[in-house]
């Protein structure tokens, strides 16, 4: 894989990950762009012990442009995009409308305490866009396994690099697919958030892992759960020598799959070559099953989220895994996060996990 870096017209970084060493991705960004926005504001919610990002500049981000104006397609004569090159394999660049950024305003007083209980600070971090392919009218599920390997290598690279940035505590790689999920660009792409804190979901999972380790003399909770799921088999969708994809016994979403390596690793960067190679065919199999569930022309909307260990703490408690889920619960029905889920955080699933696993195996 060839890695090459350049800067966009406003100073943001762009990195090409090419599958051939002779690929040439030269060419300056010819656009006249305003400076990137400063970092957002983080406000602390004392009632939940959580940080909330206030990023008002994101109100103006690009929203569902026509395909001939897609900012993620390669540039062409008369139409400059976020990718100056005329072609690419995988490209990663700093988000033009980031929720988190290392561009701190010169006036630190702008982040004064809101109330005696609500602290405020700059939203230090980084947000990147990951373009999986130069082709606009396709999907991740249609990529060849070799391209999935390139994507995994790119995510490993970015996880390692972002983990070294000052102030970053957790790196989150994910893909949103479908307007039902909230996608604002149709071009196949994912995102990476480098957070300046450990996220609430991860803190909860680490606390459970810590309690299990204390009860069992240091055993890994996720490893034990994975072993139990593999032994039961009822909720396993597909597996190979190094990965298992299964529906969690307490799945929150109508159709939810976790894809886990068979050995405990903290993050994507820790995957070896064999694990990276064998992930692609299994993951494409899972995505294909999601699409065949409802046989929708636009494909099944989903969120694909990599759970990685924090950068500086509790890395021995973390267990890398990928969570894939859809909000579609039937051909013509969506799962909305209504009162119980949105207000109380208590999920009510309309589909039994065992039934979901059986349907996915049959798809």
What residues are labeled active site? 189
- The span from the CA of 82 to the CA of 198, in Å, is 30
The token pair at 186 is 């149709």
């Amino acid at each position: 894989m060839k890695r090459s870096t350049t800067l966009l017209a406003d100073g943001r970084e762009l990195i090409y990950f090419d599958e051939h060493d002779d690929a040439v991705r030269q060419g300056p960004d010819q656009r006249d762009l305003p400076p990137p926005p400063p970092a957002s504001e983080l406000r602390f919610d004392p009632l939940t012990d959580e940080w909330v990002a206030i990023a008002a500049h994101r109100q103006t981000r690009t929203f569902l442009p026509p395909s001939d104006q897609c900012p993620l397609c390669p540039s062409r004569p008369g139409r400059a995009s976020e990718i100056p090159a005329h072609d690419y394999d995988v490209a990663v660049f700093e988000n033009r409308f980031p929720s988190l950024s290392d561009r701190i305003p010169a006036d630190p007083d702008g982040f004064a305490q809101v109330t005696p209980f609500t602290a405020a600070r700059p939203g230090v971090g980084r947000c990147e866009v990951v373009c999986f392919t130069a082709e606009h009218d396709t999907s991740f599920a249609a990529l060849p396994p070799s391209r999935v390997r390139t994507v995994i290598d790119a995510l490993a690279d970015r996880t390692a690099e972002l983990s070294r940035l000052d102030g970053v505590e957790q790196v989150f790689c994910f893909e949103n697919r479908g307007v039902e999920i909230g996608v604002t660009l149709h071009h196949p792409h994912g995102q990476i958030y480098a957070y300046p804190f450990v996220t609430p979901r991860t803190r909860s999972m680490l606390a459970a892992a810590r309690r299990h380790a204390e009860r069992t003399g240091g055993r890994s909770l996720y490893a034990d759960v994975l072993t139990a799921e593999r032994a039961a088999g009822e909720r396993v969708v597909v597996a190979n020598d190094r990965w298992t994809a299964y529906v969690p016994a307490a799945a929150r979403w109508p159709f939810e799959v976790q894809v886990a390596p068979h050995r405990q690793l903290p993050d994507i960067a820790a995957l070896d070559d064999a694990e990276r190679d064998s992930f692609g065919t299994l993951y494409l199999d899972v995505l294909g099953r999601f699409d065949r569930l409802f046989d929708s022309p636009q494909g099944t909307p989903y969120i694909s989220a990599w759970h990685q260990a924090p950068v500086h703490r509790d890395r021995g408690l973390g267990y890398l895994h990928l969570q894939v889920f859809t909000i579609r619960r039937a051909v013509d029905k969506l799962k909305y996060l209504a009162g119980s889920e949105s207000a109380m955080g208590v999920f009510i699933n309309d589909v039994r996990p065992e039934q979901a696993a059986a349907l996915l195996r049959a798809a």
